[in-house]
Amino acid sequence: MTNKERRKPEVGLGGLFTGLGNFLDLVSQLAETGEEIRRQGEVRDPSGQVRGVYGFSVRMGMGGQPVIEHFGNIREGRKGPVVAEVREPLVDVLEEEGYIRVIAELPGVEEKAVHLEVKGDILEISADGKDRKYRKEVLLPTVVEAAPRETSYRNGILEVKLVKAQGPKSGG
């Protein structure tokens, strides 16, 4: 077994990239292809059971600026990485004419366990499954009506269509 094979994977924000060179390679790839880049990993306990999930997604946003989104249940604590009980799902927000479409990945939970709450320009997504819990507050680009227009949940993918409220975004 080589040193590379024996080396334990690092956990936390610093461990997601093994060096600045890898990050620059990812940014170059993103600039060339324009496609989303996603990296993820797992932390297992000695019995082999998954204890933690971490990852990130990088895509080009408005104006050619990269948008980095973290997901999982490993957070950076004062004394290093901490495995939280609640996972943060990966979420995409798409602005369409008259609507905001939010797509969230919530694998491992049933549709009846998913709860949504809208407060102005914030959508709170939560789900409590048998083995997994998710929670995320999503800042929307504009204020939306309190009741979603459409929702669908299939194969762990939640899609919510929200109607933009009339008038300017509050606080802006």
Structural contact between residues 165 and 143, judged by C-beta atoms closer than 8 angstroms = yes
Residue type, 3: N
pLDDT in tens, 118-160: 999 999 999 998 888 999 999 999 999 988 889 999 999 999 9
Mean pLDDT of 102-120: 93
Whether the CA torsion 19, 48, 154, 140 is positive or negative: it is: negative
Smallest CA-to-CA distance from 118 within 102, 105, 96, 129 is with 102
What does pTM read for this prediction?
0.62
What pLDDT is attached to residue 40? 73
Residues facing residue 136 across a β-bridge: 125
Supply the DSSP string of 73-94, one letter for each residue: EEEEETTEEEEEEEEEPPEEEE
Q: Rounded to 5 degrees, what are φ and ψ at 147?
A: -100, 125
pLDDT digits (tens, 9 = 90+) for 8-54: 444 444 554 454 456 567 666 666 666 777 777 777 777 876 667 77
Structure tokens belonging to residue 7 = 């080396």
DSSP code, position 168: P
CA dist., res. 48 & res. 46, Å (int): 5
Alpha-carbon distance of 92 to 83, in angstroms, equals 24
Q: CA-CA distance, 104 to 125, in Å (whole number)?
A: 9
| Domain layout of the chain by residue ranges | 1-85, 89-172
Q: Are the C-beta atoms of 112 and 129 separated by less than 8 Å?
A: no
CATH code, residues 89-172:
2.60.40.790
pLDDT number for residue 111: 93
Q: Is the dihedral of CA 65, 69, 121, 165 positive or negative?
A: positive
